[in-house]
């Protein structure tokens, strides 16, 4: 049962990265792919019907983590208190950037909120990548299973590392380049004309950054935590995840050359799912690794809620996720096709 809930938490986080990831990516490339007010409105209208709904997945992931592994939730949310407050403010600013730009019809006003939206999207992506880097690297847990991580210490990978060091910043760069490709693929799929062409250009450039940083991330992970790769040796079927990631990133390049926008987006999705699936597989059964003493690490057996609660909760989780999935299928089917800029003053 603990393993099942580990898979469910991983699944929800992966769904958040895939779905809200293209929203974040659209924000990252917003000022580069769109030059005029109508072009920026076009990008916002492409993500407008779904961006706030996509954020439901991170709430579902946090709620599932709290229910299934309460000690991990308590430890991580207290240890990363400052970064989480910064993430909260960035989420607020990103939403304000989308919703406030069309409230006043003034070029300076709209330019300001467009910049806020783009910068908040970039910084959010960096912080999410850094968070993943901290999970892979490990945090300074004590014997009780708690820790406090300052924003940075020596900027090197040491047992008492802060949130930021060269390793976690590398993961932040991986996130920025990967979601830039993902967002650009979505925008090119939803638009036409110059915005479409610029989005495809951004995707081609960011693809190189994603490839090089991902390779560097794998090498760096091997150098500081070689035990992460033991699960692949013990259970070779797990190699399906990195192989999917490899096929995904190759597929992005191949279908970009064919100008097949839908398959580029699908390949980007497969790349993200493959890399995140491989990361979760390598971490199992540890949810939070202790950089101070491996004996202090928080595993699924040590931190899971009681078996009865997990069993009953599974029934309600299935009901809730069925309803959520049905809603998202309806939402995306309702807004399929190319986005446009309404001339009647509606939209963004």
How much is the pLDDT for 344? 64
On whether the CB atoms of residues 320 and 23 are closer than 8 A, the answer is no
How much is the pLDDT for 61? 95
Residues 6+ positions from 334 with CB-CB distance below 8 Å? 49
Lookup: tokens for 138: 């490990």
Query: Chain-centre distance of CA 29, in angstroms?
Result: 16
Q: How far apart are CA 179 and CA 275, in angstroms?
A: 13
First to last CA, the chain: 45
pTM above 0.75, yes or no: yes
Q: How far apart are CA 240 and CA 342, in angstroms?
A: 44
β-bridge mates for residue 152, sequence order: 164
Cis peptide before 148 (omega within 30 of 0): no
> Residue ranges of the alpha helices (H) in the chain?
2-28, 30-33, 37-47, 51-54, 56-68, 70-79, 81-100, 107-137, 166-190, 193-224, 230-234, 240-258, 261-283, 300-303, 307-334
Q: Domain-by-domain residue ranges, the chain? A: 2-334
Residue 196's CB: how many other CB atoms inside 10 A? 20
On whether the CB atoms of residues 22 and 272 are closer than 8 A, the answer is no
Q: How far apart are CA 21 and CA 272, in angstroms?
A: 10
Q: How far apart are CA 264 and CA 266, in angstroms?
A: 5
Q: Tens of pLDDT along the chain (348 residues)?
A: 999 999 999 999 999 999 999 999 999 999 999 999 999 999 999 998 899 899 999 999 999 999 999 999 999 988 888 888 999 999 999 999 999 998 888 999 999 999 999 999 999 999 999 999 999 999 999 988 899 888 888 888 888 888 999 999 999 999 999 999 999 999 999 999 999 999 999 999 999 999 999 999 999 999 999 999 999 999 999 999 999 999 999 999 999 999 999 999 999 999 999 999 999 999 999 999 998 888 999 999 999 999 999 999 999 999 999 999 999 999 999 988 898 887 666 667
- Interstrand relation of 286-288 and 298-299 (parallel, antiparallel or unpaired): antiparallel
How much is the pLDDT for 72? 93
Cα R_g (the chain), whole angstroms: 20
Q: Which CATH number fits domain 2-334: 1.20.1630.10, 1.10.260.40, 2.60.120.330, 3.90.340.10?
A: 1.20.1630.10
Residue 235's CB: how many other CB atoms inside 10 A? 11
Q: How far apart are CA 48 and CA 191, in angstroms?
A: 13
The DSSP secondary-structure symbol of 152 reads B
Residue 315's CB: how many other CB atoms inside 10 A? 9
Residue 32's CB: how many other CB atoms inside 10 A? 15
How much is the pLDDT for 300? 94
Residue 319's CB: how many other CB atoms inside 10 A? 10
Q: How far apart are CA 136 and CA 281, in angstroms?
A: 12
The DSSP secondary-structure symbol of 150 reads -
The region that residue 138 occupies, defined by phi over 0 for left and psi between -120 and 50 for alpha, beta otherwise, is left
């Amino acid at each position: 049962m603990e393993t099942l809930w580990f898979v469910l938490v991983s699944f929800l986080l992966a769904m958040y990265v895939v779905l809200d990831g293209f929203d974040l990516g659209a924000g990252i490339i917003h000022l580069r792919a769109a030059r005029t007010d109508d072009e920026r409105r076009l990008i916002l209208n492409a993500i407008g019907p779904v961006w706030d709904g996509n954020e439901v997945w991170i709430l579902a992931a946090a709620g599932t983590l709290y229910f299934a592994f309460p000690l991990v939730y308590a430890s991580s949310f207290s240890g990363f208190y400052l970064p989480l407050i910064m993430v909260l403010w960035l989420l607020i600013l990103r939403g304000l950037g989308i919703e406030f730009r069309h409230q006043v019809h003034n070029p300076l006003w709209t330019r300001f909120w467009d910049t806020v939206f783009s910068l908040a999207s970039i910084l959010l992506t960096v912080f999410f990548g850094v968070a993943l880097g901290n999970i892979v690297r490990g945090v300074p847990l004590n014997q009780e299973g708690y820790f406090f991580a300052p924003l940075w210490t020596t900027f090197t990978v040491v047992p008492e590392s802060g949130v930021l060091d060269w390793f976690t910043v590398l993961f932040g760069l991986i996130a920025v380049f990967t979601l830039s490709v993902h967002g650009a693929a979505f925008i090119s799929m939803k638009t036409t004309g110059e915005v479409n062409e610029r989005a495809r250009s951004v995707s081609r450039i960011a693809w190189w950054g994603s490839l090089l940083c991902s390779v560097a991330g794998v090498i760096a992970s091997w150098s500081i935590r070689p035990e992460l790769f033991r699960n692949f040796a013990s259970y070779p079927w797990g190699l399906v995840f990195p192989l999917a990631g490899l096929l995904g990133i190759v597929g992005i390049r191949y279908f970009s050359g064919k100008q097949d926008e839908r398959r580029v987006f699908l390949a980007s999705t497969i790349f993200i799912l493959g890399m995140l699936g491989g990361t979760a597989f390598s971490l199992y059964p540890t949810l939070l690794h202790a950089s101070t003493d491996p004996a202090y690490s928080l595993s699924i057996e040590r931190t899971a809620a009681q078996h009865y609660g997990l069993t009953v909760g599974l029934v309600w989780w299935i009901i809730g996720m069925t309803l959520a999935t049905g809603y998202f299928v309806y939402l995306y089917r309702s807004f399929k096709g190319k986005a446009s800029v309404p001339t009647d003053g509606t939209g963004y």
